Structure 1
Amino acid sequence: MVARALPATSHTHTSVKKGGHTVNKESIPLNLLWHIDAIIHLYPVTIVTTLDTLGRVNAAPFSLVLPFCSSADNPQMLLIAHTQWHTARNIEATREFVINYPRAEQVQDVVATSRHYPPGLNELEYTAYSTLPSNKVAPPRIAECYQHIECRLAQVLRPSEMQVNFIADVLDVSLDAGVYGLHRDERIRRINPPVYFGADETMHHLFGKIAEVQMVAVPV
């Protein structure tokens, strides 16, 4: 894929004296995939499971997934996808999906679900993953993932020709038994969540994991 520079972006340098040293900053062009290439973000790692209109399972990795409405009365998630991906087409057709959260030791299987298989082929069959029924929606959960959010489509936004944003109602949240009762820092250690840093120019995906959990109290 060739990056396409956006014409409105300028390339500037800034140098500012701070104490005994100089702070140098450099603006960069906003190219295609700027959000996972130019900017370093810590993205979550998920696998979204859907069904097509024939009931066939599809699974694909997603990192542009986050809570949209935090209200307990109207919990919603936001999923950002390419319009031509099988996941996007399935969600628009069947209106349901499950967000599954894998562990750091499972990233090879996560990447395996990103391969471009023909429509109707279940990517999970090429991984060590297995499925179990969901509580509220038709698409299955992935048994080996530690957390699952079952969603039903509420609204579709189209910010560009290639992008579609799905706002979905949260119908059920489930996770491995015993995890929720742990203190939050212990919960993080138990589930061992990976983080995603995007892909490099050779299309190798860059993952990391949390080596240390630091608790810092808010000053009184």
Structure 2
Amino acid sequence: MSQILRLQGRVALVTGGGSGIGRAAALAFSRDGANVVVAGRRETELQETVMMICERGGDALAVPTDVSDSAQVRHLIAATLAQYGRLDAAFNNAGVEGFAPVSDMTEAEFDRVIATNLKGVWLSVKYQLEAMTAAGRGGAIVNTSSWLAHGASIGSAAYSASKGGLDAMIRAIALETGAQNIRINNVNPGIIDTPMARRLGANEE
């Protein structure tokens, strides 16, 4: 019995696709038949993800991107359309950690967390929606939020704010996109064994 490829002929974009949750998602999209575009700041890791997909018989493209920069996000969408001609699904997973007590965190560090985790998703969604709406085929967008959007730990003020803002933002955007048959949602995972979690010591005994 042949495998049913639910996403055959579709195109999926994954930000933060060089490692962790993003890489796992990119591989999952490819297993279901999608062509995959992976974006992130570290090109070497992105190319590793592309190689893993191609070794399994898939097709993928790496586009180095800082999602906090609007010009780079616009280039990402343009590169996706130039390579594959369409965009059907997006997983906005790019994010940065930023944990410190308020008294220790600098203004620049706070701005960095908000710029990537909140503004970066806003920019990504803005230009993904533009491509999907122009095509008129609908689509689906999922964004990585966090349990810290509704909880807290010591030093999580900036990170919690970025993810809480993301949840509120996506609830509002979802009201705008339904008429175009574009679904948009967040996922709020707990602690997952990823390079970021290990850097923060989340898996230490």
Task: Check whether TM > 0.5.
Answer: no
Task: Indicate the structure (1 or 2) with the bigger Cα radius of gyration.
Answer: 1
Q: Which has the higher helix share?
A: 2
Bin of the TM-score, shorter chain as denominator length: under 0.3
Higher strand share: 1
